Amino acid sequence: NEEIEWWDYDNAAEMAAAVAGDIGFIIESAIDARGAAVIALAGGKTPIPIYEALAAAKLEWKRVTIVPGDERIVPLSDPLCNVSMLAKFFLPKGARVMPIVPNAAADYKAAGRSADALMQDLHWPLDLCLLGVGRDGHAASIFPGPDFDDAISGPKTQRALGVMPDPLPADAPVPRVSLSLRAITAARALLIAVRGDEKRAVIESAIDQGRASPYPIGRVLADTELPVDIHWAP
């Protein structure tokens, strides 16, 4: 990808305001063009201030569908559940916030198939995919290791898949459902928001190595044809 642009901020609050502004603009443009917006938002901790700022924006929320770009396979009541975190911000606004994992999911592969089926009913491609990045270079829940190959080599139409990270991440040691690499790279807009020098170094190395990068985020950036904005704060 020749068009990767870094946006650096002095602190998380500035980054949140700017990214929320960009997302608001993307939502408005999608509603103008297609009457509705379908967006995938990241889980994890970094985007919380972004969601606070975004939820305060005046948008036609009832025309907005939000899915988590990845989900931990846990009950909705679990603090690790990404869709419940998103619902807290955007359900009161009137957005449709769509769980992608059945509440008492069986095994992760079955959960992935059911998420994929749900997403087949959404208007496609996604109007936006907002991604965080892990220190190990994971994007959504596509982790380095065997699942990386699955996420890349699935059928062309696959939008989501079940994932068992190996090793399980310490902060959320559970199986996941993730957007597929194709679903991410097909999105009409791709934004990345990260904090800290360590993640910046991971992304820079991923960009340098291109498609050969062992970091899933490297593959995402190499395969995305549209410009990508990477927002960074210390």
Which residues contact ligand 6PG (rule: CB under 6 A)?
42-46, 69-70, 82, 132, 134, 138, 140, 172
Cα separation, 205 vs 215, whole angstroms: 9
* Residue 133 Cβ vs ligand 6PG, minimum distance, rounded to whole Å: 6
Question: Among all chains, which residue has been given the structure tokens 């970091």?
Answer: 215
Query: Which residues lie closer than 8 Å to 191 by C-beta, 6 or more apart?
Result: 19, 22, 23, 128, 129, 130, 131, 228, 229, 231
Please, which residue, 46 or 185, has the CB nearer to ligand 6PG? Answer: 46
Nearest CA among 120, 113, 178, 115 for reference residue 145: 178
Please, which residue, 16 or 140, has the CB nearer to ligand 6PG? Answer: 140
Please, which residue, 70 or 150, has the CB nearer to ligand 6PG? Answer: 70
**Tokens of residue 162, six digits:** 């079940």
* Residue 69 Cβ vs ligand 6PG, minimum distance, rounded to whole Å: 6
Nearest CA among 50, 44, 41, 92 for reference residue 68: 41
Cα separation, 213 vs 217, whole angstroms: 8
Strand (E) or helix (H) holding 72:
strand 70-72
Please, which residue, 2 or 198, has the CB nearer to ligand 6PG? Answer: 198
Please, which residue, 70 or 147, has the CB nearer to ligand 6PG? Answer: 70
Please, which residue, 42 or 55, has the CB nearer to ligand 6PG? Answer: 42
* Residue 192 Cβ vs ligand 6PG, minimum distance, rounded to whole Å: 9
* Residue 158 Cβ vs ligand 6PG, minimum distance, rounded to whole Å: 18
* Residue 194 Cβ vs ligand 6PG, minimum distance, rounded to whole Å: 7
Query: Which residues lie closer than 8 Å to 32 by C-beta, 6 or more apart?
Result: none
Please, which residue, 82 or 84, has the CB nearer to ligand 6PG? Answer: 82
Write the single-letter amino acid at 211. Answer: R
Write the single-letter amino acid at 36. Answer: A
Q: Which residue is nearest to ligand 6PG (CB)?
A: 132
* Residue 37 Cβ vs ligand 6PG, minimum distance, rounded to whole Å: 20
Nearest CA among 23, 31, 29, 37 for reference residue 124: 37
* Residue 63 Cβ vs ligand 6PG, minimum distance, rounded to whole Å: 24
Residues in the chain: 234
